[in-house]
Amino acid sequence: MAFCTHCGKKLTEGVAHQCVDDIAANSMKYTASAAEPGPERTASSSFAASDAKTASTIQVDGQVLKNLLKNPMSALNMRGDQTGLIYGLIGMASSIIGFWSFGLGFKQLIYSGLGMMSAVLSNFGMGSRALLMGLFSTVILLGSFWFTGNMVTKQKLDIKEFIAKIGSFQLPFGAALIVSGLISFMSLKLASLILVFALMTGLAANCAAVIELYRIGSSQWIKFIGIALGIYVLFLAIVQTVLL
């Protein structure tokens, strides 16, 4: 009489024998391999999750834009992530587009009596300069506030977070500039009044917003505003002289 040296089961002559341990091991191996996802499935799932996450983060919520128009100070609650950065860039873009549209309307009224071709060429040149002026003005203004705020308060606020907050704060003033640009095609005087009002209000409001953001004490207000606006005027004059 013979017995299996592995499982101890009795061996029958002429009958194939398989250990119980081998059966259990094979069964567990099969189950594990079936449960474990293949590399292709894992990769596809990862890409799908990444795409879904990206799609969800780049969505622009109209309610957020509406809230920024009604309550600009809510921009200070923006976070420095991808979503907040998008709203910040939208706010900055609105100011740039406002400058550009005003430049087009202004040149249209000035050169409207010189013929269609002269008006088109003049509008193109003025529109390009107004676009660059709006771009540099917005970037230099925010840059001067960020640099001065970090220097005066000894804080190191991340540039992305600053753009998300103060950039999105520009939205209502950018909207006013766009309205001014559209009206400039019909009435330059009214458009100029709206432009000056938007620029002066926007400058004062930006100072207040940055002071609130950095928690600058009243004893440092004059120092902060003087340095920030000094840097802004200096660099804007250099850009206008050299590039424009």
CA torsion angle for 235, 180, 167, 151 (degrees, to 10)?
30
With cut-offs at 50, 70 and 90, classify the pLDDT of residue 11. Answer: low
Q: What is the pLDDT of residue 186?
A: 85
Is pTM beyond 0.75 here? no
With cut-offs at 50, 70 and 90, classify the pLDDT of residue 13. Answer: low
With cut-offs at 50, 70 and 90, classify the pLDDT of residue 52. Answer: very low
Higher-confidence residue: 186 or 77? 77
pLDDT for 54 beyond 70: no
Q: What is the pLDDT of residue 210?
A: 96
Q: Which of 47-61, 69-83, 98-112 has the lowest mean pLDDT?
A: 47-61
* pLDDT (mean) for 96-103: 85
Q: Report the share of the chain in percent with pLDDT over 90.
A: 45
Summary mean pLDDT of the chain: 79
* pLDDT (mean) for 62-77: 94
Cα 206 from chain centroid (whole Å): 18
Q: Which of 194, 192, 222, 219 is CA-nearest to residue 207?
A: 222
DSSP3 helix / strand / coil % (the chain, rounded to 5): 80, 0, 20
User: What's the rounded Cα separation, in Å, for the pair 170 and 88?
Assistant: 8
Residue partners of 169: CB distance under 8 A and separation at least 6:
68, 72, 73, 75, 76, 91, 205, 206, 209
Each residue's pLDDT tens digit, 153-207: 978 899 999 999 999 999 999 999 999 888 988 888 898 899 899 999 999 999 9
